[in-house]
Amino acid sequence: MKQTILIAIAALALTGLLLAAVQCDGGTAPVPTQPAATTVPGATQPVQPTQPSSGGTAYPPGTSGPTTPAATTGPSPYPAQPIDAEKLLNERCTTCHDLGRVTSAKKTSEEWQQTVDNMIAKGAQLTTEEADTLVRFLARVYQ
């Protein structure tokens, strides 16, 4: 009887640890689908854990598994979405100054490139591709 209670307590402790791990990583930690067999004292064979009914990874009750897609290793089969330069201008540049500063400036492509490089050096958050797209847009619209 005491051994059964100890096994039940160990199982509850393990469940608590797994639930804590799920909460710590945003709900994406899977519960192992192939836990090791457990030997119950007095039993003649190890007790095998049950498989999830879906055949895949089991997740704690009330969750649906990872909330983010798995990383891919190859190129996407879908075409890349074009970058909206005007949206970039409104979202990224106006965090530090208003658009009047941009719309009143008349610069060449090279001058806009220097301006965008300076803004990135001051902390503007733009990828290389976003910066290139923004410079082309600024040079076309505000020259």
Same domain, residue pair 57 and 92:
no
At 140, the amino acid letter reads R
Rounded Cα distance between 119 and 117, Å, is 5
- Hey, what are 6's tokens? 């100890």
Give me the domain span that covers residue 60: 1-66
Same domain, residue pair 4 and 57:
yes
Specify the higher pLDDT residue, 133 or 17.
Answer: 133
pTM reported for the whole predicted model:
0.46
Looking at residue 29, its pLDDT comes to 47
Same domain, residue pair 58 and 89:
no
**Tens of pLDDT along 63-91?**
555 566 556 567 767 777 889 999 999 99
Domain contains 76: no
The CATH number assigned to the domain holding 92 equals: 1.10.760
Same domain, residue pair 61 and 111:
no
SS3 state of residue 42: coil
If one counts the domains in the chain, the total is: 2
**Tens of pLDDT along 21-68?**
444 444 444 555 555 555 555 555 555 555 555 555 555 566 555 566
Residue 9: which H helix or E strand, with range? helix 2-24
